[in-house]
Structure 1
Amino acid sequence: MPTVSLCMIVKNEEKVLARCLSSVKEFVEEIIIVDTGSEDQTKEIARRYTEKIYDFQWVDDFAAARNFAFDKATQDYILWLDADDVFMEADQRKLIELKKTLDPSIDSVTMHYNLAFDAKGNVTSSLRRNRLVKRSRNFRWLGAVHECLVVGGKIFNSDIAVTHKKERVDTANRNIEIYERRLTAGEDFSPRDLYYYANELLDHKRHHEAADYYIKFLDQGQGWFEDNIAACGKLTDIYMHLQDWDSAMKYSLQSFKYDVPRAEACCRIGFMFLRKNKLKQAAAWYKIATVLEKPKENLGHINHACWTWLPHLQLCVCYDRLGLHQLAYEHNEIARTYIPNDPKVLYNKKYFKETLNIDNYKKI
């Protein structure tokens, strides 16, 4: 059975570190904690779990810190986490089973990264990341901010999830300040830097600047295709916010250059037609979203609503306005299978029953 080193970089994580380490301690033989300048009880909490705590002088470079942590590992595989990540109980059990069954020829194991949730705890946004890597392959981190782990070889896509439970709000400006110090120093940004700096600008509601950097990123033609698709989606959202509908449509359609259509883009296009009351066009795009196959192995962001209930709920709106009440009712019922207690679908169900005498309609 393979052995595992957990490698983490931390700073001022006293509120969440114990939660993270407690969720994974039974899976790993070694815990490496690299502290980049904590001023709270982070190190004291870490000492409850490991003696292998190292200081690293912060140099505005996340990849450098993570590579330093990886270099301290001694076990067969390296697992990495952030302090505000956690393995839920079901995923802890899957981790133990993975360790028992892992093929030693595997170089990297990807896991889901669940980022956002609805009021019921259902995952609304997720992606995949390479989480467990063979130490002997000496995979390295690249990128001062929003760093990525560059892997190769035989990769296994697991069904294990890491759950992100962000608690801190005092780091909101950290990344954008690093980027802007680099810009001030005259550094040329890589395509990846352009994309993630644009993300930071968008997070700070600097919409025009964000759009400029997303366009610079796309125009270079060197980005990862998932980032290209995401940039098109973000540009669409920016231009819808700015009410520049032609540009919004342009970038939704441009996303199709990089891969097969995604439900997120189809729903955005459907929304743009719906707001113009072009109901048939809106319905057509929402219908496409309902028949697409959700990507299973991609590492990009997935908005799960667009792949499940959202296009059906919007089709209910379109078909009702078109006078196709049976179809409207049917799509509301499909949406209800995903979000059975949602106020919107319950209102629609009552509307069809009381206003349209839906009990006399064909049942689905």
Structure 2
Amino acid sequence: MITISLCMIVKNEEQSLHRCLHSVREVADEIIIVDTGSTDKTKEIASSFTEFIYDLTWNDHFAEARNFAFSKATKDYLLWLDADDEFEEADRLKFKALKDSLDPSVDSVMMPYHLAFDADHNVTTSLKRNRLVRRAAGFRWEGPVHEVLIVSGNVIQSDIAVTHKKDKAYTDRNLRIYQKRESENESFSPRDLYYFANELKDHGLHEKAVTYYERFLATKQGWREDCFAACLKMGYCYGNLMNRQMQLRTWFRTLLYGKPRAEMICRVGNFFYEDNKLELAIYWFQKATSLGEPTDYAGVIDHAAWTWMPHLHLCLCYDRMGQKQKAELHNEIAYVYNPTHPSILHNKAYFANLRREEKAL
């Protein structure tokens, strides 16, 4: 059986740290906590789980802090989490089983990262991360912000999920770090360009975001998943800049980085729906329904686009065209995927009322 060191960097995480550390019981043999300046009860909570607590002066560099945490570990494998992450009980039990059976020649285990959920706790957004790595491989983190763990060798996939339960408001911290680096004329890696563009987009600086997305794509060195996402997000920026022609063109640029994905297809379908070009909208939404499950992709997955969302839009299209039976059929398919969504339930009541009115005639 392998041994595992959990390595974390924390600051003012008293609201979530206990829950996170409790979720790795009987999984982590060693817990490394690197505190970057907490002023609350974070270290007190951590001390109830481990004696290995280290202080590190924060230097606006996440990779530096994570590498420091890795350097303190002594076990066979390194597991990393943020304080607002946890393993739900079913995943914790699967992790225990993996710990008993993992081939020690494995260099990294990729795990799903569940980022967002609907009201019924169904996963709506997820991606994959190299979550458990062999310490002897010497893998290192890179990047001051939106850091990445660079791995190679024998990488396997697992269905053990890490669940993200964010309990803090988003801030402009990352944007400020990038802007400071920009003002000091620091050299940006392709990954830096992409994530700086994301921060700009998220803070409403759409025109500058487009510039940085283009700079990122021009390097031709980005990960396929990031290139695809850059085109989707650049389309969002063009929409906010009221340039719909460039919005559509940019979404089609995703095809340079792989087969059509439901996230792009649903955006294109909605583009034509908004223009009342219903036959074109139907064409694209039907394409989305034919793709099946997303596979072989480590980037962000919008599960709605792959399941109920195109059917809901097909319902709207067919209803607007007066084809009520087709409209109801697609709403029923959407209902199978998402039986509590307010729009789908509203449509069920709408079609039920139509049938009552028809019988009354």
Contact 1:32 1:73 in 2 (8 A): yes
- The offset of 1:252, in angstroms, is 0.7
Contact 1:335 1:345 in 2 (8 A): yes
Residue number in structure 2 paired with 1:248: 247
Residues 1-364 of structure 1 mapped to structure 2, 5 A cutoff: 1-169=1-169, 172-356=171-355
Contact 1:353 1:359 in 2 (8 A): no
- The offset of 1:328, in angstroms, is 1.5
* SS of 1:33 mapped into structure 2: strand
Measure, in 2, the Cα distance between the counterparts of 1:212 and 1:359. 55
Deviation readout 1:176-195 (Å, 9 max, x if unpaired): 11111111111021111011
Q: Bigger CA drift: 323-332 or 134-143? A: 323-332
Deviation readout 1:168-220 (Å, 9 max, x if unpaired): 22x61211111111111110211110110111111212222212211221122
Q: Which structure 2 segments of 5+ residues have no match?
A: none
Deviation readout 1:141-163 (Å, 9 max, x if unpaired): 11111000011111111111111
* SS of 1:159 mapped into structure 2: coil
Aligned residue pairs total 359
Cα separation, partners in 2 of 1:297 and 1:100, compared to 1, 3 Å: farther
Corresponding letter in the other structure for 2:49: Y
- The offset of 1:264, in angstroms, is 0.5
Measure, in 1, the Cα distance between the counterparts of 2:22 and 2:296. 29
Contact 1:113 1:126 in 2 (8 A): yes
Deviation readout 1:61-94 (Å, 9 max, x if unpaired): 1111111111111111110001111111111111
> Stretches of 4+ moved more than 6 A in 1?
357-360
Measure, in 2, the Cα distance between the counterparts of 1:297 and 1:78. 24
- The offset of 1:356, in angstroms, is 5.0
Contact 2:311 2:330 in 1 (8 A): yes
Q: Bigger CA drift: 347-356 or 77-86? A: 347-356
Contact 2:294 2:306 in 1 (8 A): no
Contact 1:157 1:297 in 2 (8 A): no
* SS of 1:160 mapped into structure 2: coil
- The offset of 1:359, in angstroms, is 9.9
- The offset of 1:358, in angstroms, is 11
Measure, in 2, the Cα distance between the counterparts of 1:126 and 1:244. 29
- The offset of 1:357, in angstroms, is 6.5
Deviation readout 1:15-66 (Å, 9 max, x if unpaired): 1111110111321110011111222221111111111111222221111111
Cα separation, partners in 2 of 1:81 and 1:276, compared to 1, 3 Å: same
Q: Scaled by the length of structure 2, what TM-score is found?
A: 0.96
- The offset of 1:266, in angstroms, is 0.2
* SS of 1:314 mapped into structure 2: helix
* SS of 2:158 mapped into structure 1: strand
* SS of 1:348 mapped into structure 2: helix
Corresponding letter in the other structure for 1:201: L
* SS of 1:24 mapped into structure 2: coil
Cα separation, partners in 2 of 1:135 and 1:64, compared to 1, 3 Å: same
Contact 2:130 2:149 in 1 (8 A): yes
Cα separation, partners in 2 of 1:225 and 1:349, compared to 1, 3 Å: same
Q: Bigger CA drift: 37-46 or 81-90? A: 37-46
Measure, in 1, the Cα distance between the counterparts of 2:112 and 2:288. 22
Q: Which structure 1 segments of 5+ residues have no match?
A: none
Measure, in 2, the Cα distance between the counterparts of 1:140 and 1:288. 41
Contact 1:142 1:148 in 2 (8 A): yes
Measure, in 2, the Cα distance between the counterparts of 1:112 and 1:321. 39
* SS of 1:274 mapped into structure 2: helix
Q: Scaled by the length of structure 1, what TM-score is found?
A: 0.95
CA RMSD of aligned residues (A): 1.6
Cα separation, partners in 2 of 1:275 and 1:355, compared to 1, 3 Å: same
Corresponding letter in the other structure for 2:77: Y
Measure, in 2, the Cα distance between the counterparts of 1:256 and 1:295. 16
* SS of 1:247 mapped into structure 2: helix
Corresponding letter in the other structure for 1:85: D
